[in-house]
């Protein structure tokens, strides 16, 4: 069977499965719609949370990002997992005990204020909508790369699928489809990784392979990679840090706090039956996430070595007769000169997978010195040694441009895996994008129908009418998300960082103070959220333009780029959170204590006894 037919078949089967689950898991009450009936098993919820959390970017782009950044890429790995420790200990069990459907409802009730709830809704909507634009474009990209349809058609199909299970099934439909999507995406990610690890190190477990020696040698894979990339003028793989160590520290902290504060993740913990389940469920979520997140750095490093080995024979890999990459142990040990003329691959002899990906534009070759060979190195290197050697060899600049996404997408082809594995990667990429989009849509529609329609405008709405409002707002949210995916605003690329910044600087501190500071009052909380949000937006907009409109940036006014101790705008969320905490405590000290019954409520939230099913009562 040819690859295209196989891909249609596997992707089609996965979609049929999602729709089948949707029909089985229709939501008949608001409790099922918002919280899947509040009786999801902690392991099931952990798996659904993992699919919810791991987006198209985690699946397609993260390994490539790490391959480019080396050691510094660890900030994504630690940042996007360490947040679950905070979530498990500081937020999830207490919010589950509180027993309501949404994050803004907690903030509104705890701070006895409609204003606080409305501020939280605004933060939630901004964070979730900016996040979902990336998911919808991810759906389009995945479709166009794997199925050969246009990106727009891909978004329409994606909207249709999400519509089917999210609108009718609500949280219940989403939960069980996410479980299926997790299984598809994790198989798609780990199977090719095992093969590539086996080929390079003889160890099929990628996490162990990354710490092993290259097959048939006593040279470790990371040591070889370090040597190859530094010879070619790139930064040393195991130590290179983008920006300063302080920036890496703050960036990691921002991602952790942002992860814990993202409403679509928090909401998943309203679906378990007990407070103790909320605690262990966060652990299960992290187990399922870690399977991908500990594989990704192995994929990144191994694919990077493979790529260098493909275009430079001095690395010690060679293409076998059947076209697969194999280790030539003697050549690995010989440490031949990467600048030798014959070492560079002759363009006409490049492997099949390079030809295929050249067509997509993700891989580009330009023969700058006209020798018909591919020279892939860092032509902007700071290493005088590498520069001198490249010049002496007659190299006239880097000739190969590689899009980071190739690291994951082309992996199965580089390893010459059967067509069904390549088809599975397509289904996995789509599962990652669709599951995250559905989780975000759920957070958006709950905020609109529950916190705005029921909470503000129509407090006496019946349950059936609220359920209808929930489904309508879900449908509207899908249309808006689809529209934004089809016509991505110019700023789409930078927005995911903004979503983390907002969650970290506004929502996380407000929820945490609501639980851990009994005396925190509404004035403090509202002032804190607004201050955290304001400084974060101010710093981001200074660099990227006001609401990301080109030409409105005012970075000179704040003293140049990254002027705050060299911290980049993507890393600023933690500083925003700090401002939030400080402002909240200062304002709290100057205004009067929260009423007695609120303090009792906080005491009650802190103990597990008396937890009941989540409900929607305001």
Partner 1 sequence: MDDQGKAYWSATLGLLGKILAIWFVCSFGAGILFADALNGIKLGGYPLGFFFAHQGSIYIFIALIFYYAKAMGNLDRKFDVHED
Partners of 14 in the β-ladder: none
Count of residues touching partner 1 (by CB under 8 A): 52
Q: How far apart are CA 57 and CA 35, in angstroms?
A: 26
| 268 forms part of the interface with partner 1 (CB under 8 A) | no
| 252 forms part of the interface with partner 1 (CB under 8 A) | yes
Among 113, 276, 383, 403, binds partner 1 (CB under 8 A): 276
Residues 6+ apart with CB under 8 A from 311: 344, 345, 350, 374, 376, 400
Partners of 373 in the β-ladder: 346
Q: How far apart are CA 231 and CA 66, in angstroms?
A: 19
**Residue 82 C-beta: closest distance to partner 1, Å:** 5
> Residue 99's closest CA among 266, 270, 281?
270
Q: How far apart are CA 393 and CA 161, in angstroms?
A: 55
3-state secondary structure of 273: coil
- Of residues 123-152, which lie at the interface with partner 1 (CB under 8 A)? none
Residue with tokens 């689809």: 482
Residue with tokens 């309508």: 472
Specify the residue, 144 or 280, whose C-beta has the smaller distance to partner 1.
280
| 274 forms part of the interface with partner 1 (CB under 8 A) | yes
Among 202, 283, 351, 566, binds partner 1 (CB under 8 A): 283
Specify the residue, 267 or 292, whose C-beta has the smaller distance to partner 1.
292
Specify the residue, 3 or 43, whose C-beta has the smaller distance to partner 1.
43
Range in contact with partner 1 (rule: CB under 8 A) among 176-184, 217-225, 467-475, 568-576: 217-225
Residue 238 near residue 70, CB atoms below 8 Å: yes
| 605 forms part of the interface with partner 1 (CB under 8 A) | no
Among 114, 115, 150, 245, binds partner 1 (CB under 8 A): 245
| 84 forms part of the interface with partner 1 (CB under 8 A) | yes
Among 238, 401, 552, 591, binds partner 1 (CB under 8 A): 238
> Residue 200's closest CA among 351, 353, 327?
327
> Residue 453's closest CA among 443, 442, 465, 441?
465
Specify the residue, 88 or 123, whose C-beta has the smaller distance to partner 1.
88
> Residue 161's closest CA among 22, 304, 322?
22
**Residue 80 C-beta: closest distance to partner 1, Å:** 10
Among 4, 239, 341, 349, binds partner 1 (CB under 8 A): 239
Terminal CA-to-CA distance of the chain, rounded, Å?
57
Residue 583 CB coordination number (10 Å): 21
**Residue 285 C-beta: closest distance to partner 1, Å:** 9
Cα 78–504–445 angle (5° rounding)?
110
Q: How far apart are CA 223 and CA 237, in angstroms?
A: 9
Binding track over 15-54 against partner 1, x by CB under 8 A: ----------------------------------------
Q: How far apart are CA 508 and CA 529, in angstroms?
A: 9
Residue with tokens 């519509």: 163
Among 29, 113, 144, 212, binds partner 1 (CB under 8 A): 212
Specify the residue, 496 or 605, whose C-beta has the smaller distance to partner 1.
605
Among 248, 374, 510, 511, binds partner 1 (CB under 8 A): 248
Range in contact with partner 1 (rule: CB under 8 A) among 15-23, 89-97, 121-129, 376-384: 89-97
Q: How far apart are CA 104 and CA 574, in angstroms?
A: 21
| 3 forms part of the interface with partner 1 (CB under 8 A) | no
Range in contact with partner 1 (rule: CB under 8 A) among 133-141, 144-152, 466-474, 608-616: 608-616
Write out the H or E segment, with its range, that includes residue 364: strand 363-365
| 10 forms part of the interface with partner 1 (CB under 8 A) | no
Specify the residue, 162 or 605, whose C-beta has the smaller distance to partner 1.
605
Q: How far apart are CA 257 and CA 80, in angstroms?
A: 9
Six token digits for residue 411:
């992996």
Residue with tokens 């003329």: 341
Specify the residue, 246 or 388, whose C-beta has the smaller distance to partner 1.
246
| 335 forms part of the interface with partner 1 (CB under 8 A) | no
| 415 forms part of the interface with partner 1 (CB under 8 A) | no
Partners of 327 in the β-ladder: 317
Specify the residue, 85 or 326, whose C-beta has the smaller distance to partner 1.
85
Calculate the alpha carbon distances from 72 to 54, 59, 83, 297 in Å: 20, 19, 18, 11
**Residue 227 C-beta: closest distance to partner 1, Å:** 13
Residues forming contacts to partner 1 in the complex (CB under 8 A) are: 66, 71, 73-75, 77-78, 81-82, 84-85, 88-90, 93, 207-208, 210-213, 220-223, 238-239, 245, 248-249, 252-253, 274-276, 279-280, 282-283, 286-287, 290, 293-294, 297, 603, 606-611
């Amino acid at each position: 069977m040819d690859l295209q037919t196989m891909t249609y078949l596997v992707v089609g089967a996965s979609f049929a499965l999602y729709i089948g689950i949707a029909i089985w898991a229709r939501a008949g009450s608001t409790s099922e719609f918002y919280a899947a009936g509040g009786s999801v098993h902690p392991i099931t919820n952990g798996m659904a949370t993992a699919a919810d959390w791991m987006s198209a970017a985690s699946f397609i782009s993260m390994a490539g990002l790490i391959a480019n950044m080396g050691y510094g890429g660890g900030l994504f790995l630690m940042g996007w997992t360490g947040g679950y420790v905070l979530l498990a200990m500081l937020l999830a069990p207490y919010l589950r005990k509180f027993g309501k459907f949404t994050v803004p409802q907690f903030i509104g009730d705890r701070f006895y204020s409609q204003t606080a709830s409305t501020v939280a809704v605004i933060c939630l909507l901004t964070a979730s909508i900016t996040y979902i634009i990336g998911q919808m474009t991810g759906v389009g990209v995945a479709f166009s790369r794997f199925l050969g349809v246009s990106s727009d058609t891909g978004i329409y199909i994606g909207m249709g699928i999400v519509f089917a299970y999210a609108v009718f099934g609500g949280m219940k439909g989403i939960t069980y489809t996410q479980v299926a999507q997790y299984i598809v995406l994790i198989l798609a990610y780990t199977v090719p990784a095992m093969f590539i690890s086996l080929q390079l190190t003889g160890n099929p477990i990628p996490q162990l392979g990354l710490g092993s020696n290259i097959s048939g040698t006593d040279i470790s894979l990371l040591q070889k990679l370090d040597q190859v990339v530094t010879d070619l003028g790139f930064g040393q793989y195991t130590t290179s840090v983008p920006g300063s160590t302080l920036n890496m520290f703050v960036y990691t902290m921002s991602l952790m706090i942002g992860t814990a504060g993202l409403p679509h993740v928090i909401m998943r913990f309203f679906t378990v039956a007990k407070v103790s389940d909320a605690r262990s469920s966060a652990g299960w979520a992290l187990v399922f996430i870690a399977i991908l997140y500990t594989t990704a750095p192995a994929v990144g490093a191994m694919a990077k070595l493979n790529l260098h080995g493909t275009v430079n024979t001095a690395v010690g890999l060679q293409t076998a007769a059947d076209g697969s990459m194999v280790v030539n142990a003697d050549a690995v040990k010989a440490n031949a000169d990467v600048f030798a003329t014959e070492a560079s691959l002759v363009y006409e002899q490049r492997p099949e997978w390079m030809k295929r990906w050249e067509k997509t534009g993700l891989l580009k070759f330009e023969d700058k010195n006209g020798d018909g060979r591919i020279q892939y190195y860092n032509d902007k290197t700071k290493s005088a040694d590498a520069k001198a050697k490249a010049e002496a060899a007659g190299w006239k600049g880097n000739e190969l441009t590689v899009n980071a996404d190739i690291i994951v997408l082309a992996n199965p082809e580089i390893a010459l895996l059967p067509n069904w594995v390549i088809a599975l990667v397509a289904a996995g990429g789509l599962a990652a994008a669709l599951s995250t989009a559905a989780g975000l849509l759920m957070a958006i529609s709950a905020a609109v129908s529950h916190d705005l329609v029921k909470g503000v405008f129509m407090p006496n709405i019946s349950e059936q009418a609220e359920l209808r409002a929930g489904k309508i707002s879900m449908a509207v949210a899908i249309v808006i998300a689809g529209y934004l995916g089809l016509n991505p605003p110019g700023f789409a690329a930078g927005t995911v960082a903004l979503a983390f910044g907002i969650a970290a600087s506004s929502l996380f501190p407000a929820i945490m103070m609501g639980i851990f500071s009994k005396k925190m009052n509404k004035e403090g909380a509202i002032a804190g959220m607004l201050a955290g949000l304001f400084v974060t937006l101010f710093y981001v907009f200074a660099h990227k333009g006001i609401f990301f409109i080109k030409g409105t940036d005012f970075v000179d006014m704040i003293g140049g780029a990254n002027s705050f101790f060299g911290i980049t705008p993507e890393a600023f969320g933690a500083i925003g959170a700090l401002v939030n905490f400080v402002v909240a405590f200062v304002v709290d000290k100057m205004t009067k204590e929260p009423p007695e019954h609120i303090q009792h409520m906080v005491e009650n939230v802190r103990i597990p006894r008396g937890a009941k099913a989540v409900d929607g009562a305001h």
